[in-house]
Every structure is written in structure tokens, then in C-alpha cells.
Structure 1
Amino acid sequence: MTKPATTRLEGASYGPQGDGRPGHLVILLHGYGADGNDLIGLAPVLAPLMPDVVFHAPNAPYPCEGNPFGYQWFGISRLEPALTLAGVRSAAPLVDAFLDETMAQYGLDESRTALVGFSQGTMMALHVGLRRARPLAGIVGFSGMLAGPEILKDEIRSRPPILLAHGDSDDMLPHVLTERAAGTLQQNDVAVAVHIAEGVGHGIDQTALSHAARFLLEVFELPIPNNG
């Protein structure tokens, strides 16, 4: 693993709507080869439903091996389980530090903070979120997997509610990885909901985003629209 380009994560942010201080925080972790600007695009869709939420989408710490204009949480030249776990572990302290710094910036704690990840960002969100001393409000994982499922029982420290969504036509990370992750989480007494999107590839469709919006409203205990 090459040395990270940064020892402190930075990236895009959005919200809250209005003039008040944010009451909740959502941190968005992008996928391999992207950057924070990729997932911050979800914020304008979600923000009207949750106007007191501030969204932050940091860039991953490493320049991407496969895309010189993007970033990676870790290299994926081979998706071997041991290498994936080692990669997740290498980046986890930076995500933890970003969580702590951003919560402190707004005077918020874990009960008002959620992690949302896509693909490799989902791997990071699950790894970090389940090992925090205090449970986050929730975790959303799109099109990802759980790294090191066999060690979770020995390392889990908190059990936030989790929503996992995956397209059944994903040819990069097959949706069976989400189903396996859900099984492992359930075995470790984590409340997990799963949405498998028919005909969807490696991406986030409108239905999955709607599920995520409702999940975030529920875990933040915010009003759910009548048509939601």
C-alpha cells in the first residue's frame, strides 16, 4: 500500500438548508475511482426531506491506481479477502478521525450522525461504523460488501441499524455479497434491512435512494412525508 496523499480527509459538503445550525450529520463515502463530489450529488435530493442535515463527502486518502483523476480507500488489484480486509483497516483510522472532527465541528454526537457508503465506501462504512464505541444513528450501504465477516464477532463494538441496497444485475460486485453481509450482521445481532433492486447494475437507482431517505428519516427520528 502506498503512502496516503493526505493524513486528514477533506471534500465536498452541502447544507443544512436554512439559517440554523445543523441538527444531524450524514457522511458519504464514495466508491473506488471517484471522489467526494460524486456522492455529494445525493445531498440535493435528500436535503428537502431533512433540511437540518449537513452532508459531508470526503475524498478517499489515496490517488486511484485505475483512475488518475479519482481516489481510492485502498487498492483493488485483486479482490482477495485478506487484501480487502487489510485495505479497509489501513484507511479506517482516517475515517474515524473525520467522523470525530466533523461531529465536533457541529457539536453533534453519534446519535445524530449516519454513514452512507457506495461500493468501496460501503466496505469502509460497515467496518468503521460497527467498531465505534458509541453507535451511530445508522449506516446505509449501496452496492458493497462486508470485509472480514469472520472476525466481526470478535471486533464489533456497537450495533447501529443498517440498510443495505444492491442491484441484482451488478457485474462488479454481485448482489450476493450484500446478502452474505446481511446474514453476518444478523448473526451478530445487528438490525439490518436489505433492498435488492431488479435490473439495476453497479449504481444507485431511485428506488434504492427512496429507501435510504426513509431509513435516514427514521433513524434520525424526523417527520416522514405522507407520500413517503
Structure 2
Amino acid sequence: MDETAPDIVKPGLSRPDLEGRSYAPLSCGKTVYLVVLLHGLGVDGDDLIDIAVNWQPSLLKAEFLAMHAPFPFDQGPTGRQWYSVADRSPEKIMEGLRKAEGILNQFLDESLAKRRLDDRHLALVGFSQGAMVALHTGLRRRKIGAIVSFSGALHGAELLPAEIRSRPPVLLIHGNEDQVVPYERMTEAKAALKALDVPVKSMTRKGLGHSIDEVGIAAVGDFLHDSLVPKKAAHDEHDDHDH
């Protein structure tokens, strides 16, 4: 883990190193929705951003932005991590998630302010460790538009009743042959979220390991559109698109 990285990000402190590649809205106009992608362990935002091209036709006014995890991967020569997994005890995992939460929240605050958007127009899409950070942070943040978890898990579910601040639509997608994050983590997360009245849907990808497939990607496009875009706005969005 990067020993020079701050444990707590101070207000107003910019971290330009966290911002990865992005895709601008296909509508060629102002960004109305912001979808932030959070990558998995040992890579960076460039590993995930290109799947967003599949969702652009569903969200013509959305910008898709990849965020790089804040810390260098401490178990390999390259890549990034949201928190260390050298110690996988529940206490250390929660400590790491809370540090990542503070950094991610500041990044989101700055990104939304730059585009003059509020949280309702924000969605988080994460894979693996990035999905865990998305679930942890999104449920504790102000009302956001949607959360998508690919091959993730919900850590600290027992703490959520006291800490939950947002109940956005959540989509959980997981391969039942996942050998990295067991498939059971999805069913556990779904049960915990349903108990807290979070509108949650799940999708099992039979035969899929720790990965993302085309069927899951397609489902996310529809989910993001339905979660973020009001019905009238959805009609208007297609009417004023001139490509």
C-alpha cells in the first residue's frame, strides 16, 4: 500500500491521478448523468472503461468515467487497489473500505460539482473489489441513482442498519463458477439488502467464473436507463438525438 497516500482526504484536495478515461455523452450536449466505473484488484480504470460503449445507446446523455483506485497494488509489480487484502480479517477489510469510501466520496463530490449534477444523476458500476467499494460507499452516501455490482460482495452487512443513508436500485451480477469471490456472496448481499428495503435485483450467470460476459453487460444498459432516466425524459432524450 502507498505509505504516502493520505488516510483521510481533506476538503478541497484534488486527486487528478484518480481520474481515468471517459466517454462523453453521445447526445453531444451537456452531461445529464454520470456513471463512474470502479475496477477490480491489480489493474486500473483502463481495464474496465471500454465496456461502457455498450451502454451509451441506452443513456445518450450520460458520461462514463473510470476512476483509478487510490493505492498501488501491494502484491504485484503493477496495478492499483482500493484497499489491501494482505490481511483479510473483517476488521482490516472494513478499515480499508472506510478509507476508500472517503477518497471515493471526495472524487464523486468533485466530479458531480464540475458537471453541476446532484447525486440522483449518479450511478456506480464496480467489478470485484471495485464492486465492494461501490456497494459500501453508495449505500452510505446521499441518495444516488443506481449501483451495479459485478462479482462483488457486501462487507459489513451487520453495520448497515445503523449506517445506511441511501436505498438506490441495485443490480448484482455474479457467475456461479466464480473461484475468486464465491457466488454465495451475491445471495448473501441480496438477502441483506432486501432486509433493509433496498430495491435489489440479481442475475446469475451460469458457467461464468470471475468475469463479465455480454449478457451481463447488456442487462446493465437497461438497468441504468430504467434507474436513472425518468419516463418523460427517456422519451425526450430519443426525440432530440440527431445522430
Which TM bucket (shorter chain)? over 0.9
Other-structure match for 1:105: 114
Cα deviations across residues 104-136 of structure 1 (Å, max 9, x unaligned)? 11111111110001000011111111111x311
Does residue 143 of structure 2 align to residue 135 of structure 1?
Answer: yes
| 1:29 CA displacement | 0.5
Other-structure match for 1:184: 192
Matches within 5 A, 1:1-228: 2-3=2-3, 5=5, 8=15, 9-132=18-141, 134-221=142-229, 222=234
Change (3 A) 1:17 1:130: same
Quick one: percent identity of the two aligned structures? 42
TM-score calculated relative to the size of structure 1: 0.93
Q: After the TM superposition, list the runs of 4 or more consecutive aligned residues in structure 1 that deviate by more than 4 angstroms.
A: 4-7
Structure 2 residue runs without a partner (length 5+): 10-14, 239-243
* Root-mean-square deviation (Å): 1.8
Structure 2: how far apart are the matches of 1:3 and 1:216?
A: 37
SS at match of 1:159: coil
Structure 1 residue runs without a partner (length 5+): none
2:154 maps to a residue whose letter is L
Structure 2: how far apart are the matches of 1:211 and 1:80?
A: 33
| 1:67 CA displacement | 2.8
Cα deviations across residues 21-74 of structure 1 (Å, max 9, x unaligned)? 111100001111110101111111211222211011111010001232210001
Change (3 A) 1:155 1:55: same
1:191 maps to a residue whose letter is P
Structure 2: how far apart are the matches of 1:161 and 1:174?
A: 23
Structure 2: how far apart are the matches of 1:48 and 1:5?
A: 38
Q: Do the aligned residues in 2 keep the contact of 1:12 with 1:36 (CA within 8 Å)?
A: yes
SS at match of 1:56: strand
Cα deviations across residues 171-196 of structure 1 (Å, max 9, x unaligned)? 00011001101111111111100101
TM-score calculated relative to the size of structure 2: 0.87
For this pair of structures, how many residues does the alignment match? 224
